[in-house]
A and B are shown apart, each in its own frame.
Chain A
Amino acid sequence: MAGSERDMRDAGPGAPGPREPGSGSGVLRQTARSQYLKESSLRALFLACASVAVMGVALIFLFVGLRGWAIFAKVGVVDFLFGSTWLPTEGEFGIWPLIFGSFAVTIGALLLGAPLAIGTAIFLSEVASPRVRSILRPAVELLAGIPSVIYGFFGLIVLRPIIADMSGGLGFGLVTGWLILAIMIVPTISAISEDALRSLSPGIREASYAMGATKWQTIYKVLVPAAKVGIIDAVILGMGRAIGETMAVLMVIGNAPVVPAGVSEPFSTLTTTIVLDMAYASGDHRTALFGMAIILFLISMVLVALVRSLSRFGKQVG
């Protein structure tokens, strides 16, 4: 399943719209008045539909923001973000352990998942024969479509006991989270990296081979540097997916709102705390959960903006 993340990279202002003879209003003016009214009202309807996306973002910002902003005013931005104690029932609203958990599990998953995904992308684009590719590529796309709750279930039932045997604990913790998340971000990163590699002109491959370079030399000296911007985009979007992931992580990390002492100790992330606490939270506690959602929303928005400015930069350079 080709995630929509894959397409964000080329969302820049590039691609000019088609310019048909009918697109100028000058042509329309020559048609009947009723026809003109119909055409222009339809145009307005389509514009309204396109604006739903903008409206959606505004509504999310408004409604999640309205419910959550009070916590920043009450606790203070610094104390909320960097307070080290999360004891909401006793009025302690420091979410630092949760932010730490979110980033710790995401960065570990990226370190494991990104090389695997980029390797898979290079394999599919440069090494695999068309026949092998036609089998492996749909498989990777399918991996993207599997619900996160299934990954979590698999991690809980299969992976966790193995980790528990090796570490001596219960198996809930960073290691299990890393492994599950690493697998989940592979399809995202691999699909976008593969697009970046395949969009390179075949000429630069041939030039490299003509110089006597081997396949591997061509890959790491020519193709990967040329597709660098696309691959970085892929990793950033993979990061966005990992940091927002909820159910799979929730089922394997044990959920304790502390900075974990080791890699097989239970911890919590922003997303998992929201799910678990929302069931009973009220008052300031509930406000704090919406405040955490604001932070997650901002993080994902910053990542999208980063990707967009990167691809603009890439276009200027290339």
Chain B
Amino acid sequence: MNKRVTNWIALGALWAAALTTVGVLGTLLLYVIINGIGALSLRFVFSAPEGVRMEGGIWPTIVATVYVTGLAMLIVTPIAVFAAVYLAEYARQGRLVGTIRFAADTLASVPSIVMGLFGLALFVEALGLGFSMISGALALSFLMLPIVMRTTEEAIRSVPKYIRWGSYGLGATKWQTVRKVVLPAASPRIITGIILATGRAVGETAVVIFTMGTMINTPMLPLDPGRSMTVHLYILAMEGINLPAAYGTALLLVAMILGFNLLARFIVRRNRRMMG
């Protein structure tokens, strides 16, 4: 066969692969939006589910999801950022750093169901925190840790060296340089990483089902149990009760994830413009 013909056929196949991927995404989003939009109303968002068919709204599940992911973000941010500062600024390459990286990679690839059972065994049972927001947040923070660590480390490494030299040249110590020069310069990308990790936590199901429980409850204190939006959607879908509410929940979840993604993208873009 002529090499030009082969070329056209092959490039056509590559176009087809990419369009299939994006087409599936489009179908998925459109399907959720079209079916979910009818279920959305102020009452659906702001009232609690009632009765065996879960009529009414999903407010408690929204509160639980925001509560647990917010708490997880607060727990993980300082630890992950300091860990990344250590890896990028302080550590010399060696066995210790190799071990830390291997651990972070392993943590990133632990199946979420294993993380869920771990949270159940350690936080819910061994530490006696019960099915609660704090148990869920602690388990989720282990899930988020490697993501935030990795993005923060990359952000710190992308800060140009001469800025640091300028700071050292003025007599600043290492920590002064890190705190006043490096971290501010890296902060947009660090924030982006935190947002993306939080978005991942919002969509997590298998971890929270074993650490927060499935009880519908509007959590107030960190020790309160609750049901996340993802668990609610799972239960509605599997039991086949109240499909409109399932579509509505799915739409709100997708909207939240989309929001997180767009926010992260916006921060990156604005930062790029500022840096020139």
Instruction: Give chain A's interface residues, CB within 8 Å of chain B.
Output: 1-5, 7-8, 11, 13, 15-18, 20-23, 28, 31, 35, 38-39, 42-43, 45-47, 49-54, 56-57, 59-60, 63-64, 66-67, 115-117, 119-120, 122-124, 126-128, 136, 138-143, 145-154, 156-158, 183, 186, 190, 214-217, 219-220, 237, 240-241, 243-247, 251, 271, 274-275, 278, 289-290, 293, 296-297, 300-301, 303-305, 307-308
Contact with A along B104-147 (1 / 0, CB 8 A): 11111111111101101110001000000000000000100111
Q: A18-B164, A39-B175 given as contacts; is B121 within 8 A of A127 (CB)?
A: no
Q: A244-B113, A246-B205, A251-B237 given as contacts; is B98 within 8 A of A13 (CB)?
A: yes
Whether B117 lies near A251 (C-beta < 8 A) is no
- B207 → A minimal CB distance (Å): 10
State the CA gap A67–B122 with chains docked (Å). Answer: 10
Residue of B nearest to A276 (CB): B238
A64: chain B residues at CB < 8 Å are 114, 117-118, 121
State the CA gap A179–B141 with chains docked (Å). Answer: 31
B272 at the interface (CB under 8 A from A): no
Whether A50 lies near B87 (C-beta < 8 A) is yes
A119: chain B residues at CB < 8 Å are 13-14, 16-18
A63: chain B residues at CB < 8 Å are 118, 121-122, 126
Whether A53 lies near B83 (C-beta < 8 A) is yes
Whether A54 lies near B103 (C-beta < 8 A) is yes
State the CA gap A45–B82 with chains docked (Å). Answer: 8
State the CA gap A221–B142 with chains docked (Å). Answer: 42
Whether A246 lies near B88 (C-beta < 8 A) is no
Q: A60-B115, A186-B21, A296-B113 given as contacts; is B257 within 8 A of A145 (CB)?
A: yes
Interface residues of B in 246-262 (CB under 8 A from A): 246, 250, 253-254, 257-258, 260-261
B32 at the interface (CB under 8 A from A): yes
Whether B100 lies near A51 (C-beta < 8 A) is yes
State the CA gap A271–B164 with chains docked (Å). Answer: 48
Residue of B nearest to A60 (CB): B118
Whether A215 lies near B24 (C-beta < 8 A) is no
Q: A215-B11, A216-B7, A290-B121 given as contacts; is B109 within 8 A of A136 (CB)?
A: no
Interface residues of chain A: helix, strand, loop or mixed (majority): helix
Q: Could you list 5 further interchain pairs (A-B, Cβ under 8 angstroms) beyond the known A51-B100, A56-B142?
A: A2-B196, A39-B175, A126-B14, A151-B28, A214-B4
- A312 → B minimal CB distance (Å): 11
A141: chain B residues at CB < 8 Å are 261
Whether A39 lies near B234 (C-beta < 8 A) is no
- A272 → B minimal CB distance (Å): 9
Whether B88 lies near A17 (C-beta < 8 A) is yes
State the CA gap A293–B230 with chains docked (Å). Answer: 22
- B150 → A minimal CB distance (Å): 5
Chain A binder among B43-51, B56-64, B66-74, B89-97: B89-97
State the CA gap A291–B227 with chains docked (Å). Answer: 27
Interface residues of B in 140-170 (CB under 8 A from A): 142, 145-147, 149-150, 154, 157, 161, 164-165, 168
State the CA gap A297–B106 with chains docked (Å). Answer: 9
B13: chain A residues at CB < 8 Å are 119
B25: chain A residues at CB < 8 Å are 139-140, 142-143, 146
State the CA gap A28–B120 with chains docked (Å). Answer: 45
Whether A246 lies near B113 (C-beta < 8 A) is yes
B199 at the interface (CB under 8 A from A): yes
Whether B31 lies near A31 (C-beta < 8 A) is no
Which of B14, B24, B105 counts the most chain A CB atoms within 10 A?
B105
Residue of A nearest to B98 (CB): A13
State the CA gap A33–B240 with chains docked (Å). Answer: 68
Partner of B200, one of A31, A145, A215, A245: A145
Whether B203 lies near A149 (C-beta < 8 A) is yes
B270 at the interface (CB under 8 A from A): no
A–B complex contacts, Cβ < 8 Å, 6 sampled? A46-B82, A147-B205, A147-B230, A190-B21, A289-B117, A300-B110
A1: chain B residues at CB < 8 Å are 196, 199-200, 261, 264
State the CA gap A225–B243 with chains docked (Å). Answer: 49
State the CA gap A47–B261 with chains docked (Å). Answer: 31
What are the 9 A-B residue pairs with the smallest beta carbon separation, nearest first? A244-B111, A147-B203, A119-B17, A46-B86, A49-B82, A216-B10, A214-B7, A123-B18, A50-B83
Partner of B145, one of A21, A52, A59: A52
